[in-house]
Amino acid sequence: MRFSIITPNYNGAAFLEETIRSVLQQREMGVEIEYIIIDGGSTDHSHAIIENYRSEISSLVIEKDTGPANAINKGFALASGDIIAWLNADDLYFPGTLQRVREMFELQEGLALCFGRCPIIDENGVEIRPFITRFKEGFFPLSSQYTFQCINYISQPALFFSREAMVRAGKLREDMVAAWDYEFMLKLWHFGRGAVIPGGPIAAFRWHDQSISGQNYKIQFKEELDAVIAELGGWKLQVLLHHGVRWGIVGAYNAMANVRKYKHKFGGYS
């Protein structure tokens, strides 16, 4: 099986090299990777970093885009692998991740998607907010299309899907601000089964103030609710449950934001 991994980037030089290296090291386990980088015309030193690895990058596109969803859609159009994923320029894979994903697809026929554990890390690579990660993992044993309509418990960096499911699901919604990945995942469930990859973490999501979820979490959870309503065609039970979960999560995020502001105001935040 061949992988197509897409990394969208725009001025992500701070973490880009670590991301690239985490993808390329997967080849050491004998995994065949088509690595695609889509750069939106970065003005930092991203291009110098990319050039250092140019011989190991299968496709490189450097041109303006309208945002990450647009960049990833360009990657989708180039992807020819059997298993597809995207890894943002501030996230990373752990050693052996793609080998584990390959084994999952080989063992289970008819998979549309699989996913696994994904801790949240800060700018220094230190795990933060473990309670959020454990909360999401608590839904893994109950994993189903129905459950996913109630709550988004899949961390996108740890998501992989078949080429057939990608083609049938279509492009990412470029008119959405922050929940285009969730809307896409909702569609994937229609074209096969989903499975949890057992064992340790397979990817890490880097949270920082400039990340999409860091800036737009209120919009994100509103868009996720709207996506479920559109998916089900009205206010079904899953929508009501999702609505309650949304306000609980937004309340928790607001509380964490207030704590950060308090620490910053009184000199305890660096």
Look at residue 255 in the predicted model and tell me its pLDDT.
64
Give the start-end residues of each E strand in the chain: 2-9, 32-39, 59-62, 83-86, 92-93, 111-115, 120-121, 127-128, 159-162, 193-196, 203-206
Look at residue 210 in the predicted model and tell me its pLDDT.
62
Asked if pLDDT for residue 267 goes beyond 90, the answer is: no
Pairing of strands 59-62, 83-86: unpaired
The candidate with the shortest Cα–Cα distance to 212, out of 269, 157, 266, is 157
pLDDT tens digits, 137-152: 999 999 999 999 999 9
Asked if pLDDT for residue 76 goes beyond 50, the answer is: yes
Better-predicted residue by pLDDT, 129 or 250: 129
pLDDT tens digits, 144-173: 999 999 999 999 999 999 999 999 999 999
Look at residue 244 in the predicted model and tell me its pLDDT.
87
Look at residue 158 in the predicted model and tell me its pLDDT.
98
Give the mean pLDDT of 226-250: 89
- Provide the β-strand partners of residue 35: 5
Look at residue 23 in the predicted model and tell me its pLDDT.
98
Pairing of strands 83-86, 193-196: unpaired
Give the whole-number percent of the chain exceeding pLDDT 90: 83
Predicted structure pTM score: 0.91
Domains and CATH numbers, the chain: 2-206 (3.90.550.10)
Q: Which of these ranges, 42-46, 143-147, 160-164, 240-244, has the smallest mean pLDDT?
A: 240-244
Asked if pLDDT for residue 222 goes beyond 60, the answer is: yes
Rounded CA gap, 116 and 198, in Å?
7
Asked if pLDDT for residue 92 goes beyond 60, the answer is: yes
pLDDT tens digits, 177-187: 999 999 999 99
Residue 270: pLDDT band with limits 50, 70, 90: very low
CA atoms within 13 A on the CB side of 1: 20
Asked if pLDDT for residue 252 goes beyond 60, the answer is: yes
Place of tokens 């970093």: 49
Rounded CA gap, 60 and 49, in Å?
13
